[in-house]
Amino acid sequence: MTRPQMPNAYTPGATPLPPEDEARVARRAALLGPAYRLFYEQPLHLVRGEGVWLYDRDGRAYLDTYNNVASVGHCHPRVVAAMAAQAATLATHTRYLHDGILDYAERLLALFPPKLAHVMFTCTGSEANDLALRIARATTGGTGVIVTDNAYHGVTLATAEMSMSIGPAVAPGPSVFPIPAPTAANYPDGVASGFAAAVTAACDRMAETGIKPALLIVDTIFSSDGVLPDPAGFLAPAVEAIRRAGGLFLADEVQPGFGRTGGQMWGFERHGLMPDMVSLGKPMGNGYPLAGLVLQPRVIAEFGAKARYFNTFGGNAVAAAVGLAVLDVIRDEGLMANADKVGKAFAEGLRNLARRHDALGETRAAGLFLGTDILTDGQPDAARAGRLVNDLHREGILISATGAKGHILKIRPPLPFSNANVDQFLSTLDKVLGQN
């Protein structure tokens, strides 16, 4: 399947730029090569961040409704202070004894069900998912992986092969079996039963080619598929199906984790299930490269008996200090509860706005993770979504689009987002919809 281009991407030569930006874009292309992309028709030159705001070189403030990496807010002073203090004291890896990584592991694991009792540290979510695949293969003896058909799980060779959303160059791998995303349109007789049946059918297709199942991996908010959080609990039958076939379940929490969905720390908790493994990343270090894999001890036993694991930077002393500071801020500033309260107001505001603008379709949301369909005559319209993203950018709002058809506004602001920030977003969207 050919994927649409990013609807809000910069196309060289399509939009006149100031001479200094033309030179900067040309320099970037010469140095970084052709695979990189820039957001927006008019590329944004950022120089500073603070809280929910990003600032360009001219000092203009942009409301950030997209970056979940800076989950507790851009350049949070407590996180920056923890990073600087530890970097000025000791920065080394996990082959030496150090209390920092142990203190962080204890704090982190205490946020999970007791059965998820081990954590292995990496630098990126891609590495965490790659490691999970290695472990699943060792534990199950299988190689087959089931993903949704517009998934994103990383940029290593193995994870790119199970990331349909990044394009056809490397995906899918020969042991990767995509299934339709869990929507009512794909499973009209019931999302829970239909999605579970699709997992079983994928396992049957594996058997026909002599492949044994190893892993079902899903982003528990299904963000690249269009933000699909509901109905709560629909994922549990699919997990049962992969386990019946001898495989494991990996909950990819790189995007929905750390309180973003409101009311719970992890997206999988909304579905009342117990993962075999949970991958973490992005918001874990609030911009510092920190990620990890949380697992049940039985899952790692076979792998640990036969293989060593080492990651030069994963779980280093600075990363542990940053991770602890992020957890402190989430707790002390009540950010999970804020995601729940403000997220509900945000979703309600978008639905109210849709009553006056036919371009707005369904809004799906869990906490401060929202997806809104953009339509023309009731049909998905990626071009219109792209125009809205760029119009919002020009009005000082940063956002992006997602979904297999590229027509869904993807909204995931930093967790300190306020009701006043929601009002600014909604009034600005109302304005640009009136012009679009």
> How confident is the model over 385-436, as pLDDT tens digits?
999 999 999 999 999 999 999 999 999 999 999 999 999 999 999 999 998 7
Q: What is the DSSP letter of 349?
A: H
Model pLDDT, residue 8: 65
Model pLDDT, residue 171: 59
- 420 CB contacts (<8 Å, ≥6 apart)? none
Phi/psi region, residue 378 (left: phi>0; alpha: psi -120 to 50; beta: rest), is left
| pLDDT, tens only, 106-149 | 999 999 999 999 999 999 999 999 999 999 999 999 999 999 99
Determine the number of helices (DSSP H) and then strands (DSSP E) in the chain.
12, 16
Model pLDDT, residue 11: 72
What residues pair up with 61 in beta bridges, in sequence order? 55
Region 181-203 average pLDDT? 97
Model pLDDT, residue 36: 86
Q: How do the domains of the chain map onto residue ranges?
A: 19-72+334-435, 77-332
Cα 398 to Cα 392: distance, rounded to the nearest angstrom? 7
Q: What is the DSSP letter of 39?
A: B
Indicate whether 41 pLDDT > 90.
no
Radius of gyration of the chain (CA): 21
Tally of CB atoms within 10 A around 362: 13
Triad 334, 316, 369: Cα angle to 5°: 35
Model pLDDT, residue 170: 62
Q: What is the DSSP letter of 166?
A: G
Q: N- to C-terminal Cα distance for the chain?
A: 30
Model pLDDT, residue 1: 41
Region 153-168 average pLDDT? 87
Range of lowest pLDDT (38-47, 117-126, 272-281): 38-47
Q: Residues for the chain: how many in total?
A: 436
Region 319-340 average pLDDT? 98
Residue showing tokens 């058997």: 207
Average pLDDT, whole number, for the chain?
A: 94
Going by pLDDT thresholds of 50, 70 and 90, the confidence category of residue 348 is very high
Q: Is 365 helix (H, G, I), strand (E, B) or coil?
A: strand
Of 156 and 9, the structure prediction assigns the larger pLDDT to 156
For the domain with range 77-332, which CATH number is right: 3.40.50.720, 3.40.640.10, 3.40.50.970, 3.40.50.2300?
3.40.640.10
| Contact of 36 with 9, CB cutoff 8 Å | no
Indicate whether 274 pLDDT > 60.
yes
Kindly state the helix (H) or strand (E) to which residue 120 belongs, with its residue range.
strand 118-122
Residue showing tokens 């280093």: 316
Model pLDDT, residue 169: 61
Model pLDDT, residue 13: 66
Model pLDDT, residue 18: 86
Model pLDDT, residue 17: 84
Model pLDDT, residue 172: 75
Fold exhibited by the domain 19-72+334-435: Aspartate Aminotransferase, domain 1 (3.90.1150)
Model pLDDT, residue 6: 53
| Contact of 49 with 61, CB cutoff 8 Å | no
Cα 395 to Cα 131: distance, rounded to the nearest angstrom? 42
Going by pLDDT thresholds of 50, 70 and 90, the confidence category of residue 3 is very low
Model pLDDT, residue 16: 81
Indicate whether 193 pLDDT > 80.
yes
Model pLDDT, residue 7: 54
Cα 265 to Cα 267: distance, rounded to the nearest angstrom? 7
- 211: tokens are 């492949």
DSSP letter string over 270-312? GGT---SEEEE-GGGGBTB--EEEEE-HHHHHHHHHH-----S
| Strands of 27-84, DSSP E | 46-50, 53-56, 61-64
Cα 290 to Cα 20: distance, rounded to the nearest angstrom? 34
